[in-house]
Amino acid sequence: MKKEEIIQKGNIKREEITKKEEIIKKFQGKRILVIGDIMLDKYVWGSVERISPEAPVPVLTVSREVYVPGGAANVACNIKSLKGTSVMVGIIGNDEAGEKLKSSLKDKGVDTSGIFVDDTRPTITKIRFVAEKRTQQLIRIDYESRHLINDKLQKKIIEFVSSCATKFDAILFEDYDKGMLQTNLIKKLLNIFKNKIITVDPKFDNFFAYEGVTLFKPNKYELERAIGEKINPNNIESICKKVRKQLNCKAVLLTMGKEGMLLVDSAGAYKIPAKVREVYDETAAGDAAIAGTTIALATNASLIESAGIGNIVAGIEVSKFGTVPVTYEELLKDIRN
């Protein structure tokens, strides 16, 4: 490579870094409304020194227990830790786990005024048992009920959202198919948010309910299951274009793990490669990606710029163990490096 080409590439790289810094410096104060299935993640840490005499399973001697917000609540925490302002809309049960989740969100600076109690279900709780020496997850236990919320709770959600819809720079739907979000409610909420930036991290049940949104972010597995077709390098662009047309959305952002992302909008398709990292744990990478992308869009960054930042945030997340939000300082440092 010629010296002039090296200098030119170096200048382009510096310009990219400067542009990303300018975008993330605008994160502070951006208000994001997060709507979706909230969970409590519990980590039970301990040591494993022997196998149980009762069954061929390890015996975990517990040393500590940690509770953190999970699911859509983790997305709200990521928004907050990136220096945005997040308001959470979700459902908890009338139980101790629900109180722990709400208290944890408040401690992290997330507005919980949109969280409502459903007496007919437990708070969704995921318990992970982890061996400390190797940071190895031994087993996960889930407590949940996935039945749809009733009309009374739907009405409360709609009334709350209607009362504050104009206050937000962007709306984020985090759908885990746990019963809070359903087609009828989604359509009513989307109607409230006309002319707003709306991003969606979908699952399966409501996959095609999010018509007219700004950005729709499935992962590869979710997309394959929704369309009933395997994705390969030859059909990936055409499938994303087809989904974009069916949803009438501005862009589809397909996340593909270590293969990076593919953004498809009206101008074409753009591959966003993943940065080579030591992957520690892929838990919550999707949460981090949609949080970073959404808050960047709220600054009026372009779709490709926002997706690029979301890609970086997700990359930082996989280098951590467990459900741990990415901070503004971590993002700034990673961009500069």
Report pLDDT for 318. 87
Taking the CA atoms of residue 184, residue 188, residue 190 and residue 195 in that order, the dihedral angle to the nearest 10 degrees is 160
Other beta carbons within 10 angstroms of residue 194's beta carbon come to 9
Contact 264, 240 (CB under 8 A): yes
Task: List, for residues 134-182, the tens digit of each pLDDT value.
Answer: 888 999 999 999 999 999 999 999 999 999 999 999 999 999 999 999 9
**108: exposed, middle or buried (C-beta count within 10 Å: 0-12, 13-18, 19+)?**
middle
Report pLDDT for 6. 44
Q: Which of 128, 270, 286 is nearest to 221 (CA)?
A: 286
Q: Which of 40, 58, 57 is nearest to 48 (CA)?
A: 58
Task: List, for residues 224-240, the tens digit of each pLDDT value.
Answer: 999 999 999 999 999 99
**Residue 91 reports pLDDT greater than 50:** yes
Task: List, for residues 317-331, the tens digit of each pLDDT value.
Answer: 988 888 889 999 999
**Residue 16 reports pLDDT greater than 90:** no
Report pLDDT for 3. 47
DSSP 8-class letter at 229: S
For 195, left (φ over 0), alpha (ψ -120 to 50), or beta? Answer: left
Tell me the pairing of strands 125-131 and 38-51: parallel
Catalytic residue among 111, 175, 201, 287: 287
Contact 113, 85 (CB under 8 A): no
Q: Phi then psi for 210, rounded to 5 degrees?
A: -95, 65
Contact 89, 33 (CB under 8 A): yes
The residue ranking higher by pLDDT, 130 or 280, is 130
Spatial CB neighbours of 145, under 8 Å, sequence gap ≥ 6: 120, 121, 122, 179
Tell me the pairing of strands 136-143 and 125-131: antiparallel
Task: List, for residues 37-77, the tens digit of each pLDDT value.
Answer: 999 999 999 999 999 999 999 999 999 999 999 999 999 99
Reduce the DSSP state of residue 114 to 3 states and report it.
strand
- Across 106-112, average pLDDT: 97
Query: Under CATH, what is the fold of the domain 23-39+68-123+144-336?
Result: UDP-N-acetylmuramoyl-L-alanine:D-glutamate ligase (3.40.1190)
Rounded Cα distance between 248 and 329, Å, is 36
Question: How many Cα atoms sit within 13 Å of 276 on the Cβ side?
Answer: 0
Rounded Cα distance between 72 and 127, Å, is 17
Lowest-pLDDT range of 120-129, 159-168, 253-262: 253-262
* Single pTM value for the model: 0.92
Domain residue extents for the chain: 23-39+68-123+144-336
Residue 289, token pair as written in the block: 């990606």
Report pLDDT for 197. 98
Quick check: is 205 catalytic? no
